[in-house]
Amino acid sequence: MKLLHSPTSPYSSKVRMAARYLGVSVEEIKVAAMDDPVELVECNPLGKIPTLVSDEGQAIFDSRAIMHYLHRVSGKTLYPKKHAKRTEVEVFEALCDGITDCLVAIVYEKRFHPPEKVHQPYIDRQWSKVVRGLDHLNAHLPKTGKKLNGGHFAMAAMIGYLMLRFPGEWEDGRTELTAWPQKFAKRFEDYSALKPQG
């Protein structure tokens, strides 16, 4: 299988970590999505990363679809079998991905507009969602036991992106959340190598 990705992408980071954890072998191919590379847009009309191409040539996207595919092909429990527990994990993952969506939107708003065109109310709106999401996670931090799940990898990628793009802007008062990456790294030793990198 081939994974088209970017090392800075938190969504790419999430699926790369999950694949490594599950023991699924993938060939990682770095692409610059903004350049609409042929190898990406030919298999994903949206031109977004990450995109996984299966051994049979099937393109799988977005990151959550890839996570569920990896869960199935690995035969392992990235998601719980019991419906109630699985729903909890899926909502946990959705929350972390939603926070990440807001963070990426802020980065793009600043990156792709000249300073005089940056819409601060839009940034403030996105950041208010980030704050609420992080406060919720800090107050209701899911357990991190021997078995990791899709939500853990989504949170690890999201926090890695915060550390990369928003250092010093999110940690204050969130002691549980700021301490979590070190705990996660004990369960998943490749975290430092696979979290979002600048």
pLDDT at 112: 94
Q: Which fold has domain 2-74?
A: Glutaredoxin (3.40.30)
- Residues of the chain where predicted confidence (pLDDT) is lower than 70: none
Nearest CA among 153, 121, 120, 151 for reference residue 136: 151
- CATH number of this structure's domain 83-194: 1.20.1050.10
Q: Tell me the per-residue pLDDT of 131-188, one tens digit each, with 9 for 90 and over.
A: 999 999 999 999 998 899 999 999 999 999 999 999 999 999 999 999 999 999 999 9
Residue 3: what are its φ and ψ, rounded to 5°? -120, 115
The CA-CA-CA angle for residues 22, 8, 62, to 5°, reads 55
Under DSSP, the state recorded for 42 is: T
**Residue bearing tokens 């990406």:** 40
Q: pTM of the predicted model, to two decimals?
A: 0.96
pLDDT at 77: 87
User: What are the residue boundaries of the structural domains of the chain, listed by start?
Assistant: 2-74, 83-194
Residue 103 structure tokens: 């963070």
pLDDT at 82: 96
Q: End-to-end distance of the chain based on CA atoms, in angstroms?
A: 25
Question: Residue 10 and residue 30: Cα distance in Å, rounded?
Answer: 14
